[in-house]
Amino acid sequence: MNIQPAFNAGPATGATAISFPTQSGGTSPGAGDGVRADWNVRMNISHETGFVGGAGRLLIHNLIVEEKRELILLLPAALQDRPGRLELATAEVCSAKPGIAAAPGQSLPFRLEGAKAVVTIPLLQLNDWVYIDLTWTGGFAQGGMSFPGAQVPVGEFHPQIAVPIITDTGQQALGPVPARYDVELGADNGALVRLENMELGGVESRPNADGSMTMHDFKCYGSARIDAMLLPPGSIA
């Protein structure tokens, strides 16, 4: 498995049906034959209010014989040693392979176990697929003062696909899986985005329709998280 360092995020139960290969297969670095970790993400993060809101879409495609019934998500900011909070708000079907028990707009139940969310997905047999829409909310201290230089780590405030693993010490943990993120991030006017990997093309910024905030478009591929920092208004790039 191609996974990132593990997190202890509560009991790791009920997601053994999700599997991931050791390489990308073309589009998603580290994405799985069970879950293709291609995300389209829209987020708003405000230093002024400490608010976080987000929505994302991903494809679950079962390419193995074992049935799939659940999806595991790590919620980084919900970990006890992290400042801020992150909560999964909704999960629903966007579209699905014809013939399976899934309808567009169908709500999907989920349970929260500490910093882990377990989403019950439509039963997927071999070669079945479904697109899932997720929304989430979060927050941090106003002004971003909990972070060095008030630079908010964007990757702390979105769900990450993960798999249950056993650490070298024999503990249960979650291993986040590398993914591909296409991101639209809304922020306070004057806030800047700094990417850890500039090889993917940098950041395009523009005002929103009413000029109340600035929208930043960028890509992050190959890490389990969105590798970007949101710098507070007035920062120098």
pLDDT digits (tens, 9 = 90+) for 141-166: 999 999 999 999 999 999 998 888 88
With cut-offs at 50, 70 and 90, classify the pLDDT of residue 59. confident
Q: Is the domain defined by 35-231 classed in CATH 3.40.50.720?
A: no
SS (H, E, C) 193-226: EEECCHHHCCCEEEECCCCCCEEEEEEEECCCCC
Domains in the chain: boundaries: 35-231
With cut-offs at 50, 70 and 90, classify the pLDDT of residue 237. low
Q: With residue 14 as reference, give the H or E element that holds it.
A: none
Mean confidence (pLDDT) of the chain: 84
Whether the pLDDT of residue 4 is over 60: the answer is: no
pLDDT digits (tens, 9 = 90+) for 165-214: 888 888 888 888 888 999 999 999 999 999 987 677 899 999 999 999 99
Three-class SS of residue 188? coil
With cut-offs at 50, 70 and 90, classify the pLDDT of residue 38. confident
pLDDT digits (tens, 9 = 90+) for 192-203: 999 987 677 899
CA distance 106 to 101: 10
Between 29 and 64, name the one with better pLDDT: 64
